[in-house]
Amino acid sequence: AMTRATLSLDGQSGARRGQLFRPMTPHALVAIFGFCLLFRSGVAEESELEKKPEYGDSSYWVLLNEIRPSEGNLEPAFTPEGEEFELLVKNPHSRVLMLSLELNIEKYNLLFPPIITVNGEPLDYSPIRQISVKVPLNVTPDALEDMPVDVMVSDKEESGGFVLTRGKVSHTYHLKVSQPPDFPKMVLAKSIVVMDKNGKEIPSTPPFDMESDNVDYRFALGADDEVVTLQVNCVPQATGMNYDGVPAEPDSTLDIEVQGALTTTLAQCLYSHPRWTKGGTIQRTYVVSFSRDVELGTTPISVLMPQSQGYCEALYGDGKEVVAQWDPPSKKTPTEFLCRSRRETPQVIVLFNNPKVEMNLIDEQKVEHRVTNGLPVDVELPEGKRMHWTLQLEGGKNHREFPLTILSPASCYGGFLCPIGWSLKPRSQEEHLCRQEKCTKEDKLTCCDKGTSYKLLLHSFPTGKSRKPMVDVLADADMDRLQATQLLFGSDSKKLPIVLQEGVSGTEVSKLSAPLEDFGATVEVRPEFYYAFDVSLEDVGPNPDEVAKVVAKDGGISLDKAEETVKVPGTETLIGADLETAQRHVEQLEAANATVQVVGTDQEFGLTVTECPKKGCDDQRFLRALHKATGIPIDELKEGLKSLPYTLEERASSRMTAEFQEAVKKSGAVSKVEMAESEPHMKFMFRLNGVDPDELAKNPKLLDALYKKLIAEAAKKTGADPKSIKLQFAKPPVTVRVIVNPAPKEVSAVDVASAMAAGVGTLPGIAGVTAGEINATDVQSLVKSSQVASCGNFQCPEETVPRMHASSIECPSGECTEADTDRCCSKRVPCQETVCRIGYVKPYSEYPLFCPEPDCPDICCKKAPTCESHTCPAGWLPKSKEIAKITVCPGECSTEVCCNWESTCIHFRCPEDQIMKEKAENKLVSPLTAEGCCDPRDRCSSIQCHPGTTPVQDAEYIFCRTQQCSEEDATTCCEAAGTCYGYECPAHSVVRQQPQSLSCERQRCGPKDESTCCEKVATCGAFDCPARFVPKREAATIECKEAKCMPHDQDICCDEVATCSSFMCPLKPHPFGLRPHADFLDCKNATCTQEDDLETCCEEKQPCSAQECPEGMALLTTSRDLMVNKWELHRCCRKVAMCNSYSCPAGFQGKPGGHQISCGGPACEDSDAGACCEKAEEAPTLQVK
């Protein structure tokens, strides 16, 4: 209020005493108001210069620069002017939400920061540090929906200005925070209770635990419990529940009828919500099982396989009693089972006659597979591996286990040789299997029938008849029709004889031979003996040197030794050879004009490796060759060859022996082939040194003494009866062959020969006769004798013939008599046992029963005619001259053998792997062959199966319908492929994206599909960390969760960079201080270091005395030595005082505009009087009238 006063400026009186002023006129009020506006304008100019408003200023800034949540994103994206936002926290397990608030520091004077409140609560913060707000989230499993979080930024004081604009300036951000429920906890069961018929609660195994991840609970019932009551109580948050898939009321019960040893019920707690499950349903299934203790007693159990797949055996006690699946069952309880099958996925059927028990099949990985009584179960049987499973009979707490072994045995038809007098069983739908992975002697009854095995050979086709009816004959004898067509019309049909059957019984071979003979074909039924052949040299002929070369090469001896050998008539040049080797050897000897004799013998040999090849015993070629020859597994060969000598077979056939010798010869190894122990004769040979054969022949007494001495030595060394020992002599030099029959089992021929050679000593009457020398321990030869009284001059009776080399057989009495008949003669040999020489054949139509002369081959065999002289009839074309010249006719030459039928392809049936050429039905072809009529037919392995399908097993052996596979063959060649869904990838890899669309090679995915189904897990080395994050140490070795690092791998791969607020600036050698807003300054890595971040985070401090205060501020004298940064000048300087705050001394008055004149420091002092004051003018004298 203005004091009323009267001021007389013009000297007029009338005012009261003491009144200095008069009331203001309107003009005065306007002048004062204008002055005020001018004053405020000056203040505004000062604020505009500083650009940082203080509290109460109308331009005070109340907007945030950013709000960053620790999880989720604001919707819509944050803008400083925005007000309404929504935030979804996706992690239901998060309990705290951190909000980072960012101020626009450039808008503030740090001495006047804004007021920030969160939900009405003021926030205590520092404007130069990071502003973080903790917002509690839901602590219950329930969902959090639209929780309000209000963040208000406001001025501390009311703003100035007109009355209408006064009040606090503020801005509020309204956030609605939502969080999904903890889904697993929404479908928990609070309790699972089972009551018996008396209302008594039955405990579970394991005890029920609401927080446990276990969902499988078993309740053991009494033997009389047939009905129980189940109650599953779900948590309140669950929106529904099911029993066995049927909706039920919450906390309802279910009566269950228990059947068998185990009954299972499924209980489900459900949760659905329009927002959180989007119309779907989340469920947790509890498996509630009820087992009843059942006395297993003598529950009968048996295991079998479908007959076409294999068979099983039950073993009792210690395994000595075995009962096969087709035998009557035993009353005893088996201890284990053994099944045999050659399928990759055989089926096993388990029978157990007790409805109250359950059966489990447990594999080698201890995985249980439930087995239903009488229903087949597929099991995997990798090739060459035994699988060991366990059958578990379960009756509640009572269990019984039975080992189950499944193996893939060898087939009887995989090279098993039946002994003499036995033949392989005929093939049938049920393949005959050996007991182990390799057939042994014990499999004779399984694979063989009593009786000689036979081979059926076709020597000629019916003359002038079509061969097509013969296909029907072969098909009626259970031969595959396609195979029969190939034999009779294919490329092999011109190579006679054709083997139609082999290894079959006499009954089986007669089923086919009889109708073929009735049809007019020429066939031979030949007994199958596995012959070894000995070749002896009867006459060297005019070229002994050429003969010696052949003997040296084929016998594996030096040329010098061969030249000595061929000088001895009757010397055996090849022993125990296979037919092919013997024929080749005879052909070469006859080409050298030598005369030979070939004898076939039934023999078995022992095969021993004494030295491995240079490449070592583990040389793969050597091992494979031995495996092919003997059938012994390679792993077994490796183990056996570790200790040499190694005997592979003790009783090998001549065929196996020949293959063994060939394998050893090619590899460069050293072997020894000996007669098998079952050989009744012991035969060996040694030479006497220093003996004149002529003198020995002239001295019968000396010869008799030598004969007796040698027999006595042989009897002494072998322990044999002297009557069982025979000697044979040959010259030159004097060679002695000893034959012991029967042979002793205790000693070998080599040992006896060595002992005898050393024990001959000096013979009486002959000087220089010394110990004998072993000539060849493995050679079995018969030599001629130069004695006068020999079987060579003996007349054999009728029905007998002289023995071979009869002239070398001595008659002991000095004269051969009737008593020497058995010594000198033998029964006539049947022609069918005679082996014809190369280029000779037997007249199969009629040949004599016995050889009338000792030289059987010349009587039983005749020079074979060739097709060169045969004339083909009309409709047939002759073979080429080269082919006709070397084609030997079996007996008489026939059109079928020597000619090609001129015909059209319509009469030709292509083999299985070929198809008739296009428009070839009427094509004239001669000869009628597959090459002229047929084209190769594609196999299923060439077809491109549709996506989702895969080639069938053995696709490489299945043919398409036409020459090239087409869509029509897809159903035959392809089958549905398994997918990678559910594939278990190895460590450091994961299943590829969309595995249900990735097809495996076969119906079941296996290890081969790993590259298809899996890919390597990516490492953090390929992850690009976002802003303010850096890769972790050793990021290159840290694995992401998927094959490609995704944003959610950030926590795995990256660390958030540290801010300068965590860094301690050094004080030595110079003090440093943190830069302003250190919370917003990022270091280089997750940890701030002086080396990397000193310049970013810190600035060297200087004393206040070295600082320059800003305009309008002055240095505090008390702060001159204070060490500060440039942004800490407020600690050094204070605002300069204005002259209007200074009281001028007497006689002085303040200068006009003193509020704009500054003093020299924060407070005006007397030293500022000159700047602030001026001399006062004398006041005018007022006269009061």
Q: What is the mean pLDDT of residues 964-989?
A: 85
| Residue closest to 131 by CA, chosen among 65, 197, 228 | 65
pLDDT per residue as tens digits for the range 344-365: 889 999 988 777 788 889 988 8
What pLDDT, on the 0 to 100 scale, is given for residue 357?
Answer: 81
518 backbone dihedrals φ, ψ, rounded to 5°: -60, -30
pLDDT per residue as tens digits for the range 599-632: 554 456 678 888 888 888 888 888 888 887 777 8
Q: Are 359 and 394 in contact (CB under 8 A)?
A: yes
For 845, residues 6+ apart whose C-beta sits below 8 A from its C-beta are 522, 891
pLDDT of 845 strictly over 60: no
What pLDDT, on the 0 to 100 scale, is given for residue 150?
Answer: 93
Q: How many angstroms separate the CA atoms of 1135 and 54, rounded?
A: 14
Q: How many angstroms separate the CA atoms of 125 and 212, rounded?
A: 44
Both tokens of 618, joined, read 């583990």
pLDDT of 636 strictly over 50: yes
Query: Which H or E run contains 802?
Result: strand 800-802
pLDDT of 788 strictly over 60: no
Q: Give the model's confidence band at 1181: pLDDT under 50 very low, under 70 low, under 90 confident, else very high.
A: low
Question: Omega before 742 cis (within 30°)?
Answer: yes
pLDDT averaged over every residue in the chain: 75
What pLDDT, on the 0 to 100 scale, is given for residue 596?
Answer: 78
CB atoms within 10 A of CB 775: 22
Q: Give the model's confidence band at 54: pLDDT under 50 very low, under 70 low, under 90 confident, else very high.
A: confident
pLDDT per residue as tens digits for the range 376-431: 888 988 876 888 999 998 877 788 889 999 998 888 866 566 654 466 776 654 56
Give 14 or 117, the one with higher predicted confidence: 117
pLDDT of 885 strictly over 80: no
Q: What is the mean pLDDT of residues 459-471?
A: 76
Q: Give the model's confidence band at 829: pLDDT under 50 very low, under 70 low, under 90 confident, else very high.
A: low
Lowest mean pLDDT among 86-90, 268-272, 880-884: 880-884
What pLDDT, on the 0 to 100 scale, is given for residue 600?
Answer: 54
What pLDDT, on the 0 to 100 scale, is given for residue 192?
Answer: 93
What pLDDT, on the 0 to 100 scale, is given for residue 117?
Answer: 93
pLDDT per residue as tens digits for the range 938-964: 888 888 888 778 888 777 778 888 888
What pLDDT, on the 0 to 100 scale, is given for residue 729?
Answer: 59
pLDDT per residue as tens digits for the range 1006-1062: 888 898 899 999 999 888 898 888 898 888 889 998 888 888 888 889 998 899 988
Q: What is the mean pLDDT of residues 479-501?
A: 72
pLDDT per residue as tens digits for the range 544-591: 888 888 888 876 677 887 887 788 776 777 765 655 677 778 878 888
Q: Give the model's confidence band at 1157: pLDDT under 50 very low, under 70 low, under 90 confident, else very high.
A: confident
Give 222 or 135, the one with higher predicted confidence: 135
Q: How many angstroms separate the CA atoms of 264 and 242, rounded?
A: 14
Give 527 or 9, the one with higher predicted confidence: 527
pLDDT of 848 strictly over 60: no
What pLDDT, on the 0 to 100 scale, is given for residue 231?
Answer: 92
Mark out the alpha helices in 869-994 (DSSP H runs).
Answer: 881-886, 895-898, 930-933, 970-973
What pLDDT, on the 0 to 100 scale, is given for residue 766?
Answer: 43
| Amino acid occupying residue 1026 | P
Mark out the alpha helices in 905-959 (DSSP H runs).
Answer: 930-933
For 288, residues 6+ apart whose C-beta sits below 8 A from its C-beta are 192, 194, 217, 219, 230, 232, 264, 265, 266, 267
pLDDT of 733 strictly over 60: no
What pLDDT, on the 0 to 100 scale, is given for residue 903?
Answer: 59
pLDDT per residue as tens digits for the range 396-405: 778 888 999 9
Q: Give the model's confidence band at 45: pLDDT under 50 very low, under 70 low, under 90 confident, else very high.
A: very low
